[in-house]
Amino acid sequence: MASAPVSSQAILLPVLAFVSVLLSIVPLLLHWKNRNFAASSLILWYLLLNLFNIVNALIWPTDDVDSWWDGNGLCDIEVKIMIGSYVAIPGTLVCIFRSLAQVLDTSRANLVPTKSQRWWNHATVLSFCGIAPVLAMLTHYVYQANRYFLYAIAGCLNSYDRSWVTLVLAWIWPLIVCLVAGYYSVIVLHRLTKYRSQFGDILQSSNSNLTKSRFMRLFLIAFIMLWAIIPVQTYVVASNIIVTQPWHSYSWSVAHPSNWNEVIKVPVEGRVFYDRWIPVASGYMFFIFFGSGRDAFVMYRAIWGFIGFGNCFASLQSSSANGSSVSGSLGSRAKLLLNRRWTTTASCCRTYPNSSADATRSARDYHDIEKGIVSRAKQSKWSRYRLPWIFRGRPSSSQERTVPLHHMPEQTTTIRTNAWAGVSQSRGSSDLGAAPLSEDHIRHCLSRSYASTTCTGAADSRP
């Protein structure tokens, strides 16, 4: 028998699924880093389904059923995981909307949640994202009519018994969980409308790592997914009920006949079920909402640099070395400009940023700090705000001039600087308890500091 041709969908599905997997990695790492386990679980479940799309399309690409592998072992795992994903994906949406609603709940806002609240939140996430899918996998054997179906391109598909048990244990629960998620989404919408003017303040006061951008992106993608899944789940439940009619009374022997282990192989003529494209589209949505932000680009640079492209592109290394964002660089420059502004004594002395003599003078001042001379930066700062104007001196038209000793008042305010502890104390000169210094020494100190401050250790200064 001649082999069947490979259809375009058999090629397109694994390629798009592979790209979807790559695009989902960075959003998964970002949410895991921020400890958003519900969103991480949502991405992880869709990532697993995309891996199944890739593997199955490569193993069973055509309708040549005679050459097919029966899929023992692989399909047994896949059908269980798919059964769990039907409950887990709506469950992750419940946890996402519930956490967003808690952030906007001003009546129960806590700066630090209590231990019982943390345990309750963890239990809710674990129940919907882990325990409920595991229970769905375990109960699948109760209504599993045969081992599994094997379709071309799509690969492994689960089977159902034609009884009311299947409705109770399988079909109805994904729709119920979606309705619960819809309830929480309505609450979030109501609180967003109610607190739209205080939205930023509520996020800042809440004990979460959500910003406005992160909150809205998470809410929008969950909202879009939810209101796309609810019609699909409603259609699936309704169509399955109609197709499986008439139902028979449940019996274990009827649900598990002697030929239960037989694998049923079905050709599809190059077409793929619509549900296989949902995980593919989800990966691109994750990239649009989470993979195009500032945090994502920082991670992209780190990944490319780790791979080795940083040696080829200098911009990757410079971007990583200069900071995580442009805003951070601009903020640092603004702080530097403000610092230069406040540490420059415009009214008392001149600054020479490009002068070698000024650099030498500054180095000498710092070198002599143990002798009681304070650096020019510290002197200008303290003299500008704490010393009387007479100690700062007034510059002439051409150069700085010193203050004569006989012009100093009898009781003055000086600054004593501890060079090792970095502590400055302001007190009267008569309280310092140091020996009086000579007039020449004081004039020499004042001249060296450009008449901006007094020297450390000055005691009683009388004309």
Domain locations along the chain? 8-309
Whether the model pTM is above 0.75: no
Using the 8-state DSSP alphabet, how is residue 128 labeled?
Answer: I
Show the tokens assigned to 282: 């989800």
pLDDT at 458: 42
The predicted structure's pLDDT at residue 303 = 76
Are β-strands 264-266 and 149-151 bridged in parallel, bridged antiparallel, or unpaired? parallel
Are residues 82 and 133 in contact, defined by beta-carbon separation less than 8 angstroms?
Answer: no
List the structure tokens of 104.
């906007």
Structure tokens at 399: 């150069």
* Residue among 96, 71, 141 nearest 290 (CA): 96
Whole-angstrom Cα distance, residue 69 to residue 128? 35
Instruction: Tell me which residue of 185, 192, 164 sits closest to 229, measured CA to CA.
Output: 185
CATH number for the domain whose boundaries are 8-309: 1.20.1070.10
Structure tokens given for 402: 């010193």
Alpha helix segments (H runs only) across 308-437:
314-322, 326-342, 356-367, 376-385, 389-392
| Beta carbons within 10 angstroms of residue 303's beta carbon | 14
Element counts in the chain: helices (H) and strands (E): 18, 5
User: Are β-strands 413-418 and 423-428 bridged in parallel, bridged antiparallel, or unpaired?
Assistant: antiparallel
Pair of tokens at residue 53: 């799309």
Rounded CA separation 40/410 (Å): 73
Listed in sequence order, the DSSP H helices in 104-211 are 115-126, 132-139, 164-166, 172-194, 199-205
pLDDT (tens place) for every residue of the chain, 463 residues total:
456 788 889 999 999 999 999 999 999 998 998 888 999 999 999 999 999 999 999 999 988 888 899 889 999 999 999 999 999 999 999 999 999 998 888 776 555 667 787 888 889 999 999 999 999 999 999 999 889 999 999 999 998 999 999 999 999 999 999 999 999 999 999 999 888 888 778 877 776 777 888 889 999 999 999 999 999 999 999 999 998 888 988 989 888 888 898 899 999 888 888 889 999 999 999 999 988 777 777 877 777 777 766 666 555 555 444 444 444 443 444 444 444 444 444 444 344 444 445 545 544 444 444 444 444 444 444 444 444 443 444 444 444 444 444 444 555 444 444 434 334 444 444 444 444 555 555 545 444 544 444 444 444 444 3
Q: Which two tokens stand for residue 375?
A: 């650096």
Cis peptide before 14 (omega within 30 of 0): no
Phi and psi at residue 415, to the nearest 5°: -120, 130
The gap from C-alpha 344 to its chain's centroid, in whole angstroms, comes to: 40
Say what the pLDDT of residue 330 is: 39
Helix (H, G, I), strand (E, B) or coil at 44: helix
Rounded Cα–Cα distance for residues 348 and 373 (Å): 18
What pLDDT does 112 receive?
64
